[in-house]
Structure formats: C-alpha cells, structure tokens
Structure 1
Amino acid sequence: MSTDCENLLKKFLVLNPAKRASLESIMRDKWMNTGYEDDELRPYVEPQQDFKDHKRIEALVCLGYNRQEIEYSLAEAKYDDVFATYLLLGRK
C-alpha cells in the first residue's frame, strides 16, 4: 500500500468525528486525485428527473387512475401508489 493511500486511510479512521477529515478535504487528498491532476473532484449531483412520459401516463389512465390525480402525484413526487406505479412502468 502506498504512503499516500495509508495517509488517506488514517484520515478516515479518526475516532473523534469533529477531528475526522471532511468530504471536501478527502476529495482534495493527493491519493484521491492521482491521475486526475487537471480535473477537480466534485460531489455527485443527482440529475433532475422528468416525470412527463406520456406513454406511462396513458398506461396509468388505462389502469384506472384519474389523470388529475396522476399529474398531481407526479408534480409533487408524492411517492404514493400512483407515483410508484409510474416508476415501475418505466423499469426495463
């Protein structure tokens, strides 16, 4: 194991959370950036989801869901039966 890797692991293994390395400092660590000197590591950002798939909405209507109920559930991301069924219809 390299010295840089060992130093990074030591930052993780600090018992006191207040003294433990932050995510930002971990992302700036030399070992984490080996081979990526020209790029800056950034935290992952979840992409915005688009809940306007007309085929899935029509499938929900065919299953007996009310169109207004569907639109409300999707707009508010209610995570109810309508929203769950919409998501399941999109799985491949």
Structure 2
Amino acid sequence: MEAPSAIRNQRGPGMLALQWADAEVLISHARLRGACPCSQCRAERLQGLLSVVRHAVRVEQVVVQGYGVQLVFSDGHERGIYPWQYLRALG
C-alpha cells in the first residue's frame, strides 16, 4: 500500500489524520497507542493482558519510515512502527 498524500497530527483533539486518494482516515491517539504493533505490546495483547491507555495520551512526533510511521507518544512509548495498511485498517 502506498503512503498517504498527507499526514496531520491534530494534537488538540488528539487525532491523527491520514489522507489517501480515496479517503481520509482519522484515528484517535489513544486508539493508536492501544493498538501499538511493537513486539512488546503485541505479546501483552496475545497474553490477554489489558493495558490501560489514558485518553489524554498524545502523539508527540510522527517519523515516516517508508512503509509506515513511527509514533512517539507523550507517555514515552516509541517502539512501534505502524505500516500504512495497518493504519488504514485502524481507521
């Protein structure tokens, strides 16, 4: 899947907006943090451990990594790289 044509980090309302040719996808920062694809977070979810994500968590930085983005969160978590297709599905 191709990268979106635009990425906007709306920190005030806590939303990440991704613009593709056929649709705009909006995903809350809390949903993104809760769906982190890093190995540690995936392992916790597979073990049935439920991590509480504060609604106030924010994406502080968006780093494009070619096939997706690395998100740096206000709680210090920065391990996950979110592939474009995964982001599209989350929206």
- Scaled by the length of structure 1, the TM-score of the pair is 0.25
Larger helix proportion of the pair: 1
Structure of greater Rg:
1
More strand by percentage: 2
Q: Higher RCO, 1 or 2 (CA under 8 Å, sep at least 6)?
A: 2
